[in-house]
Chains A and B, each alone.
Chain A
Amino acid sequence: MKIKWWHVGLLACLVVACLSPLASSSPDGLERVAENKGFIDLGREAPFQIIADYVFPGMENEALATILAGLIGTLILFGVAYGVAWLLKSRKKEPAK
């Protein structure tokens, strides 16, 4: 199989996902404002949790659980966006063939 640019691109994205345990755990801009201005407590938890907060459930090593969550998300998004784009472009091209 010939290696295409996007194979390398996807691999690079998976490498970026593996860096996720290095991320700052400080609150982000919105959370900081919500804390400072006293409305953080209005926030409600989701009614269900799948891979909540980017930590794969049931794993002892949190860094590995974060990496696994990152890899899963990165692959899902590649598949979903590629699939959406493929469906949208092929519908226009197919009848012409």
Chain B
Amino acid sequence: MHIPDGFLNVATVATTYVVSAGGVGNAVRIANKKLGEKHVPLMGVLASFIFAAQMLNFPIAGGTSGHFVGAALAAILLGPWASVLIMSCVLIAQCFIFQDGGLLALGANIFNMGIVASFSGYYLYRLATSLLGDDRRGKLIGGFVGAWGSVFLSATACAIELAVSGTSPIGVVVPAMAGFHALIGIGEGLITGAILSLVLVARPDLVQLQKV
């Protein structure tokens, strides 16, 4: 879902850069207060995993593929602001080293896959676990729901930016993006659930870390 350069107009590029810079600045400030010793290796491993897993595009319907985003997983384990930091590291590296996502579109990509995906994934997970109970079952269902919602909303945000930029009419691009990513979100939900279930078995203490 990495937007290349050329899809967004100047106003959208500027707005998303300002909002994302503010979001990342705030994430740094909050992490500076709350990040502890135990968070550090998990931040490293999650950034690594998200990068590697994002390379593994999986096929969905009609000659189309989707890839894991990972913001919901990071937000569930570490909290939404830590997730914004991780996603920013991944997206900046993808943009500058791997030419995935445009330089001008970086602000929008951090906004969609970092900020929107982290916060929607986190709060949908919280909502689901408060309704279903915070046991293993509640956590796994919450993880699926949070992950699905994070991809769906992230794609919708992307579509709105494309529409505002005049690239494609809103009535065309929003349903198209939302439709494909409703399917891709199922993959996101399954991967997030699988990793959460692995962590719950192998290192349940990592799920209990203070959220940043």
Binding site for B on A (CB under 8 A): 4-6, 9-10, 12-14, 16-17, 19-20, 22-30, 32-34, 36-37, 39, 42-54, 66, 69-70, 72-82, 84-86, 88-89, 91-93
Give 24 pairs: A residue, B residue, CB < 8 Å, sorted on A: A4-B41, A9-B49, A10-B44, A17-B51, A22-B56, A30-B3, A33-B177, A42-B167, A43-B7, A44-B6, A45-B99, A46-B102, A46-B103, A53-B100, A70-B52, A73-B55, A73-B93, A77-B48, A77-B93, A78-B44, A81-B85, A85-B31, A85-B82, A91-B32
Is B35 part of the contact surface with A, judged by Cβ < 8 Å? yes
Segment 27-53 of B: residues with Cβ below 8 Å from A: 28, 31-33, 35-37, 39-53
Is B173 part of the contact surface with A, judged by Cβ < 8 Å? yes
Give the chain B neighbours of A70 by CB distance below 8 A: 52, 55
Q: A30-B3, A44-B102, A88-B28 are known contacts. Are A78 and B47 too (CB-CB below 8 A)?
A: yes
Q: A73-B97, A84-B43 are known contacts. Are A33 and B180 too (CB-CB below 8 A)?
A: yes
Binding site for A on B (CB under 8 A): 1-7, 28, 31-33, 35-37, 39-53, 55-60, 62-67, 82, 85-86, 89-90, 93-94, 96-100, 102-103, 155, 158-159, 162, 167-168, 172-173, 176-177, 180-181, 184, 202-203, 206
Give the chain A neighbours of B64 by CB distance below 8 A: 26-29, 32
Q: Who on chain A is nearest to B8 by CB?
A: A42
Give the chain B neighbours of A23 by CB distance below 8 A: 55-58, 65, 67
Q: Is the CB of B51 within 8 A of A73?
A: yes
Give the chain A neighbours of B39 by CB distance below 8 A: 85, 89
